[in-house]
Structure 1
Amino acid sequence: MTDGIDRTPSDTEVCIVGSGPAGAITAYSLARRGHDVTVLEAGERLEPADHRRRMEMWLRPGFDRDAFWRDDERDAFTSTGDIYARLNETRLKAVGGTSVHWDGNTPRLHPKDFEMRSRYGRGRDWPIEYDDLRPYYAQAEREMGVSGVDDNPHGPPRTDPYPQEGFPRSYSDSLFAEACAALGISMATQPKAINAEAYDGRSECVGYGVCNACPSGARYSAEVHVRRAENHGARIVDRAQVLRLEHDASGDSVDSVLYATPDGSTHRQEADQFVVACGGIETPRLLLLSSSSQYPDGLANSSGAVGRYLMDHPNVTTNAALEEQTQQNNVGWVSSRSDQFYDPGAAGPGSFHLTFDNSARAASGGAQVRQPASTRLLGAITAPTPAGLADVATDPLNETSLGDGLEPPTTDGPPYPLSIRGAGEMLPRAENRVTLDRSTTDNHGRPVPSIELSDGEYAQRTMEHCLEIQADIMAELGAEITDVSTLSDRQMSTHHMGTTRMGTDPAESVVDAQCRTHDLENLWVASSSVFPTGGANNPTLTIAALALKTADHIDETLSSA
């Protein structure tokens, strides 16, 4: 099988495995400084028509959404813990990685997340502080085009404004705001990697309402930095499945990666520096698969920490019904949040944040109801204007007209649905881990990743507290709770962290503060897998910030060679 694309090795300084946000941003950061960069991506490159097709399929209620990108044999895994891993519903192997279908939420971690052991005597401290990452956070926001408002009294400290003004809050947010104010709970704007205005050559949001499958390019994906890297001379090789890393005779450095291509060939790509950027599951898997006589337990695993300390974000949701119109279907994404309970102190349970859902659930407690703006307002795959979308978002009576001949949709009568979601903190525990399942193999006969994950008492207490707060808000609002999603019925979230963690002690960590492995001098990891703790906030902006920082260190290494 061949498509005529040359996937043979080339001369390069840096070989990066994976083209998600970490890999793509690292590639761009190095290529723009004149370094020769090659990126190997297991998945295919999607074209604009593919994104539109994904959106159209996403709108179909019976569509198996992960079938669009999933390769059952290549992407096989097993799940043995209390929490089902559901990997192929949440990750995507393609140029751009999982950012091709994410929601675009971009909060920062808080300072306390970097100092858990020092502050509270639990978890681990990062070998860097919030202030070390602060300039990279600001740079990552500019690179991705984050929209936001600096209105979060309980958020992490900021010195730079958001690159774009935040989207207006929805009408349902105003209802929640009244109840939260009565309870002394602050609400703030949710930062989003979605364009509120034309930005960096990409259009403003045009309101398709299916952010996971955004066909317009207004929501950031790592495809942006793939293109930028290519414009600076980087080479992106799709459908190049890396099978293992191979080291030199001394075992001090990596000298090549072995990868397979669609025509059935295998190749070795050599480089001076290597970066593994495969996410929290495939990164430890690749290191474990790269065992040798010198590294019998897996590459870069002298600590035994490769694959261990897996974390995700436990989440709970309260659905309710209100006699008053809520307009929760008018915006396809979260526009408000609360960090009131992010730093509860040493005596309290762990951190969590609240988001106020704009994709309403049925008042009877049924499945999520998604009515994207494109079909809800126009009756076809045609998007409203951004100004019209803002009007609809804040219109309490659903009377906004979006153009000549376009009438607002009729709505069902009361009760109307409301929903609050909370995501919280999980402590790093050695028993939560990724291992190799040698009883099950992938399309190249390699053991698949096996995921073992449970919440633990700390996360359970944290999310019980979260549910209590959600119930208080609904009661203050006068809403009747119709359904509660607890930890007992949850599956693994989309955030996979901690499996090659960062630290100063090589005996208990995999990479150092620069994200270079302790064991091999030219092997780096750019991924959420390096997080020592996961906090309670979405990891993507932190992944991007760390990638920018790591690229600086790789550039320094190459420049001094």
Structure 2
Amino acid sequence: MKRVIESDVCIIGGGITAAMVAERLAERTSASITVVEAGQRTASLAERTHTRARMLAYGENPYPNDHIPDQTGTGAMYRQMVVGGSAMHWGGAIPRYSPEDFRIRSLYGVGFDWPISWDDIEPYYQEAEERIGAAGEQGPPDCDPRSQPYPMPPLPLSYNLARMREWTDRAGIPFWTQPWARNTEPYRGRNVCQRCDTCAVCPTGAKYTPDFAFDQLLAAGRIDLVDRTLVRRLALEPGTDRIAAAEAVDRDAPGEAVEFRAGTFVIAAGHAWSSHLLLLSANSRFPDGLANRTGNVGRYMTGHWYMSGYVDLPMRLYPGVFANNSLLSHRFASPGPLDRYLRHDLRLWESNVGRAPRLTDDEGRLLWGDEIMADWRSRTESGATARIRAYYDVIPDRESRLTLDRANTNAMGDPMPRIGYRAAGATIGLEPHTLGTIRGRFEELARAAGGTVRNTRTSRLFEHPGGGCRMGNDPATSVVDRWGRTHDHENLFVVGSPTIVSSGCANGTLTFCALSLMAAEEIGKEGLR
């Protein structure tokens, strides 16, 4: 038995990029839109006060049932399969990429240029900020260009961050307030941030999550949202390269096949599951997977690496006052001419490292009664600690790749994804220079306050990952064009993180949203009603 669902546009995936595409198409066309999500609804806004309390008291997941147990790959990837996707629990940081990110080959002779420029994407950055509700302040225009103001003023600085900003000003490195998807004014029916300090689960609705957009679209009758339904493969129209249907299974009725038919299909399934679906959809016409004539699906998987550390400062701060705000600098993401390629951001938070109450002193002696308070007071009065972190750009390698792991299958026998990340030789060869330079900048900042770097650590975990369906003008080296349309299938789009050419040195979510809005504009030209 088969259930058939028809619409003009079928969006596969129910996260933040799907919300962007659905919302824009719903506003600007009269097309019928179906959003298909493998996961289910999780904690609604009304339930988040309760799930937050359980998280704080018992360490429980504040978003119950936010993944599918047997739908798990190998390698760094998001497990969340839920209406709203991984942007249900995100912190809400939404910096833009820098203009240099789109031209690093032309400017620095390494990596790859994008098929779009900063000027091309900038209007969509603004649109994404307005849809999400961005609160921020503009940094120096040469480091942080923008054509229009943020929709809302920035989160107010705590006493601690204000003092830290005085310190960074003395260092001569411009910092400004990190932009956030958190309301500082009532916005689109959502509340103002109350600085609860549990931003992963915001109990007030001040932080944007995609379920808000889906709920509004459902209330207006502009989309159908089909959850708990896993799309297993895409099927072609006989004798053509057009996509005819998405074949799925209802997790509540696994014996019943579900088929989604549409004129246009949009894969909005994130960096891992988008490539995975294309590879699973191999057929006699495309034996290596859909959109994969040139073998680029699943390749150039990317993300950025980082160095972080703690700085001891000879100043009086008060740890614990809204630690989920921070200061940001893109001074070194827009560095001008370079002899050796290195671009990174800088970000600063307050920290209680070395300043928290404790039960033993430095020699391990047990503290009692008033000794605990005296020890705590002496360490907070004599100094403070800041946390510092630098994301740096990693050049993607073609062999950084997602493949199908036939030794790891789900309940239906479908192989799960396996990602083997790899940085290009240019990044590996420069790593000693990169880490030494960033450590030196940490020390430069510390000296400006008369402080010292307490410690540092490095990570090669590919943060804010993307790739696998990268965009380009040449089908020989890319999967989609600048609009996200696959080179091989005129009615199939991939949006968001899979399409990025490189990951820059900033959180990627806003860029993923902007790219999705670009795609939605092109989809809207498809003769939709």
**TM > 0.5 between the two?**
yes
State yes or no: 1:274 paired with 2:245: no
Residue 377 of structure 1: aligned partner: none
Which residue type is aligned with residue 243 of structure 1?
R
Which residue type is aligned with residue 434 of structure 2?
T
Structure 1 distance, partners of 2:185, 2:503, is 31
Q: Tell me the alpha carbon deviations over residues 518-543 of structure 1, each in whole angstroms, 9 at most, x when there is no partner.
A: 00010001121101122111111111
Match of 1:51 among 42, 48, 52: 48
After the TM superposition, which of the residue ranges 127-136 and 169-178 deviates more from structure 2? Answer: 169-178
SS at match of 1:309: strand
Q: Kindly indicate whether the alpha-carbon contact (under 8 Å) linking 1:152 and 1:189 is maintained by their aligned counterparts in 2.
A: no
State yes or no: 1:523 paired with 2:516: no
SS at match of 1:426: coil
Q: Kindly indicate whether the alpha-carbon contact (under 8 Å) linking 1:498 and 1:530 is maintained by their aligned counterparts in 2.
A: yes
Residue 540 of structure 1: aligned partner: 509
Gaps of 5+ in 1: 1-6, 80-84, 367-409
Shift of 1:284: 0.6
Alignment RMSD: 2.4
Q: Kindly indicate whether the alpha-carbon contact (under 8 Å) linking 1:168 and 1:335 is maintained by their aligned counterparts in 2.
A: no
State yes or no: 1:350 paired with 2:342: yes
Q: Tell me the alpha carbon deviations over residues 345-401 of structure 1, each in whole angstroms, 9 at most, x when there is no partner.
A: 34233211111124x2522899xxxxxxxxxxxxxxxxxxxxxxxxxxxxxxxxxxx
232 and 544 in structure 1: CA distance in 2 versus 1, 3 angstrom threshold: farther
411 and 284 in structure 1: CA distance in 2 versus 1, 3 angstrom threshold: farther
Q: Kindly indicate whether the alpha-carbon contact (under 8 Å) linking 2:155 and 2:325 is maintained by their aligned counterparts in 1.
A: no
Residue 192 of structure 2: aligned partner: 204
State yes or no: 1:467 paired with 2:449: no
Match of 1:214 among 202, 218, 240: 202
Residue 123 of structure 2: aligned partner: 135
Residue 37 of structure 1: aligned partner: 33
Residue 381 of structure 1: aligned partner: none
412 and 555 in structure 1: CA distance in 2 versus 1, 3 angstrom threshold: farther
SS at match of 2:403: strand
Structure 2 distance, partners of 1:365, 1:68, is 34
SS at match of 2:406: strand
Match of 2:453 among 461, 481, 484: 481
State yes or no: 1:499 paired with 2:468: yes
**Superposition map of 1:408-423 within 5 A:** 413-414=379-380, 415-423=383-391
Which residue type is aligned with residue 469 of structure 1?
R
Structure 1 distance, partners of 2:61, 2:507, is 25
Residue 380 of structure 1: aligned partner: none
Match of 2:146 among 142, 158, 161: 158
Which residue type is aligned with residue 77 of structure 1?
G
Shift of 1:466: 2.1
SS at match of 1:292: coil
After the TM superposition, which of the residue ranges 245-254 and 31-40 deviates more from structure 2? Answer: 245-254
SS at match of 2:504: coil
Q: Tell me the alpha carbon deviations over residues 311-356 of structure 1, each in whole angstroms, 9 at most, x when there is no partner.
A: 1121221113345332342113233111110123342332111111
Structure 2 distance, partners of 1:543, 1:471, is 33
Q: Tell me the alpha carbon deviations over residues 32-65 of structure 1, each in whole angstroms, 9 at most, x when there is no partner.
A: 2211000001111122344334422442475567
State yes or no: 1:552 paired with 2:521: yes
Gaps of 5+ in 2: 358-375
Q: Kindly indicate whether the alpha-carbon contact (under 8 Å) linking 1:306 and 1:510 is maintained by their aligned counterparts in 2.
A: yes
Residue 403 of structure 1: aligned partner: none
SS at match of 2:434: helix
Shift of 1:17: 0.5
Shift of 1:294: 1.0
Q: Tell me the alpha carbon deviations over residues 493-523 of structure 1, each in whole angstroms, 9 at most, x when there is no partner.
A: 2x11121000000111000111100000100
Structure 1 distance, partners of 2:356, 2:456, is 8
State yes or no: 1:457 paired with 2:453: no
State yes or no: 1:225 paired with 2:213: yes
Q: Kindly indicate whether the alpha-carbon contact (under 8 Å) linking 2:243 and 2:265 is maintained by their aligned counterparts in 1.
A: yes
Match of 1:26 among 21, 26, 29: 21
Which residue type is aligned with residue 233 of structure 1?
R
Structure 1 distance, partners of 2:429, 2:325, is 27
Match of 1:174 among 148, 162, 168: 162
Which residue type is aligned with residue 37 of structure 2?
E
Which residue type is aligned with residue 225 of structure 1?
A
Q: Kindly indicate whether the alpha-carbon contact (under 8 Å) linking 1:211 and 1:219 is maintained by their aligned counterparts in 2.
A: yes
Structure 2 distance, partners of 1:306, 1:203, is 41
Q: Tell me the alpha carbon deviations over residues 56-96 of structure 1, each in whole angstroms, 9 at most, x when there is no partner.
A: 2442475567875233312x2123xxxxx2x35xx521111
491 and 129 in structure 1: CA distance in 2 versus 1, 3 angstrom threshold: closer
Runs (4+) off by over 4 Å:
60-68
Residue 70 of structure 1: aligned partner: 67
Residue 236 of structure 1: aligned partner: 225
204 and 502 in structure 1: CA distance in 2 versus 1, 3 angstrom threshold: same
Which residue type is aligned with residue 337 of structure 1?
L
SS at match of 2:150: coil
Structure 1 distance, partners of 2:3, 2:318, is 53
SS at match of 1:422: strand
Structure 2 distance, partners of 1:463, 1:50, is 44
Structure 1 distance, partners of 2:378, 2:414, is 53
State yes or no: 1:103 paired with 2:91: yes
Shift of 1:413: 3.7
Which residue type is aligned with residue 28 of structure 1?
E
SS at match of 1:473: helix
Structure 2 distance, partners of 1:180, 1:62, is 36
Residue 253 of structure 2: aligned partner: 263
Structure 1 distance, partners of 2:527, 2:491, is 10
SS at match of 1:548: helix
72 and 417 in structure 1: CA distance in 2 versus 1, 3 angstrom threshold: farther
TM-score, length basis structure 2:
0.88
Work out the percentage of aligned pairs sharing the same amino acid. 33
After the TM superposition, which of the residue ranges 221-230 and 236-245 deviates more from structure 2? Answer: 221-230
TM-score, length basis structure 1:
0.84
Structure 2 distance, partners of 1:236, 1:459, is 47
